[in-house]
Amino acid sequence: MSFTVIIPARLASTRLPNKPLADLGGKPMIVRVAQRAAQSGAARVVVATDHADILVACEQHGITVHMTRSDHPSGTDRIAEVAAAMKLPDDAVIVNVQGDEPLIDPALISAAAALIDARVPIATAAHPIADVADVFNPNVVKVVLDKAGRALYFSRATIPWHRDAFVKTRETLPAGYQPLRHIGLYAYSNAFLQAYPRLAQSPLEQIEALEQLRVLWHGYPIAVHVTENAPAAGVDTPEDLARVRLHFGQEN
């Protein structure tokens, strides 16, 4: 399957200023992400940004980059603008890779893209949760699936709730109980991507602060690729940046 990766990148970050341009072994983070995404087999990899410094960094390393408006409320809106500017057909498959994921597994990108078809306009990924603390952590987003591997619901709460086992203990995972953690990677058909910015916010989305609940609330199915391995964490803090720099053989 042919697909396009679009990476939204903003320079502003409250916890890590200038994050997309942070040096990782001699290259800016956004360049590392794009080069990693290119290993997925994507037909093209494009960075979508509203800042000239990111434009220059990408061009210096041969990365295709599109400038966008600066007033987009989300990365999804930003990549929708770029896909429209590229005049991609309605059935084109586009994968949204976050600009702070320099260690993302390229196979995860292609697996999500492969789930898009005429019946399923959006796909994402998840992995089994092994740490019992994560099961009860509201910062770890959980997802439950139907028999076809499509999302029934996403939540910060513990879902599914093991009624009998959790009465007895919450120190260990019950036998046969396997909750899934959502991985924030999305693939879309271009037709859906262009329609998404016009969808009204849903009450569930506002309550949980989870944008993907808007999709379910409006009746669109979301396919979920389940990988056995937890992906490498992205870069949100100075501590994350230090960890990733070690991967690239860089001292801090």
Q: Which of 222, 217, 196 is nearest to 207 (CA)?
A: 217
Q: What is the pLDDT of residue 187?
A: 98
Q: Side chain identity at 175, as an amino acid letter?
A: A
Q: What is the mean pLDDT of the chain?
A: 94
**pLDDT tens digits for range 70-121:** 888 888 999 999 999 999 999 999 999 999 999 999 999 999 999 999 999 9
Q: pTM of the full predicted structure?
A: 0.93
Q: What is the pLDDT of residue 250?
A: 62
pLDDT score of 182 more than 80: yes
Longest dimension (CA), the chain: 59
pLDDT score of 9 more than 60: yes
Please report, rounded to a whole number, the percentage of residues in the chain having pLDDT higher than 70. 98
pLDDT score of 251 more than 70: no
**pLDDT tens digits for range 187-241:** 999 999 999 999 999 999 999 999 999 999 999 999 999 999 888 888 988 899 9
pLDDT score of 68 more than 80: yes
Q: What is the pLDDT of residue 123?
A: 98
Q: What is the pLDDT of residue 234?
A: 87
User: Three-state DSSP class for 169?
Assistant: coil
Task: Count other C-beta atoms under 10 Å from residue 88's C-beta.
Answer: 20
| Long-range CB contacts for residues 213-220, cutoff 8 Å, separation at least 24 | 213/153, 213/154, 215/122, 216/151, 216/153, 216/154, 220/121, 220/122, 220/192
pLDDT score of 42 more than 70: yes
Distance (Å) of CA 202 to CA 10, 151, 212, 216: 25, 17, 10, 9
Q: Side chain identity at 89, as an amino acid letter?
A: P
Is the CB of residue 170 less than 8 Å from the CB of residue 136?
A: yes
CATH number of 1-104+232-251: 3.90.550.10
Positive or negative torsion for Cα 22, 28, 34, 40: negative
